[in-house]
Amino acid sequence: MHDTRSLAIQFLNSLDKKKHTLDSLLEEFQNKYILPKREKALFNALVYGVLRWRSRLDWIIRQFSKQPPEKTNTEILNILRIGLFQIIHLNRIPVSAAVNTSVEIAKHTVGTKCSGYVNAVLRRTVREYKSLCFPDMDKKTEYGISVNKSFPEWMIKRWVSLLGKNSAIDLCDAINNIPPITVRVNTLKTNRDELISCIESETQDIRPTDCSPGGVSFSRPKELISEMEAFKKGGFQVQDEAAQLAAFLMDPQPGEKVMDACAGLGGKTGHIGQLMENKGYITAIDKDKEKLFRLSLDMERLGITNVTTSAGDFGDPVFLKSYSGKFDRILIDAPCSNMGVIRRNPDIKWKLTEDKLLFYQKRQFLFLDNIAMLLKPAGIIVYAVCSTETEENEEVINKFLLKHPDFTIDDMHCFPKIFEPFVNSDGFIRTYPHLHNMDGFFLARLKRII
Residue positions annotated with a catalytic role: 386
If you count them, how many residues does the chain have? 450
Burial 151-171 (b: 16+ CB within 10 A, else e): beeebbbbbbeebebeebbbb
Rounded to whole angstroms, how far apart are CA atoms 197 and 109?
A: 49
CB 81, CB 50: distance < 8 Å: yes
Helix (H) / strand (E) element for 215: namely: strand 215-219
CB 274, CB 186: distance < 8 Å: yes
136 is in an annotated binding site: no
CB 85, CB 52: distance < 8 Å: no
Rounded to whole angstroms, how far apart are CA atoms 433 and 156?
A: 15
Q: First and final CA of the chain: distance in angstroms?
A: 64
The CA angle 394-177-39, to the nearest 5 degrees, is 130
CB 385, CB 392: distance < 8 Å: yes
Going from the C-alpha of 143 to that of each of 56, 59, 62, 222, the distances in angstroms are 11, 11, 15, 40
Residue 71's Cβ-side half-sphere holds a number of Cα atoms within 13 Å equal to 5
CB 206, CB 216: distance < 8 Å: yes
426 is in an annotated binding site: no
286 is in an annotated binding site: yes
Rounded to whole angstroms, how far apart are CA atoms 268 and 245?
A: 9
Residue positions in the annotated binding site for S-adenosyl-L-methionine?
286, 313, 333
Residue positions in the annotated binding site?
286, 313, 333
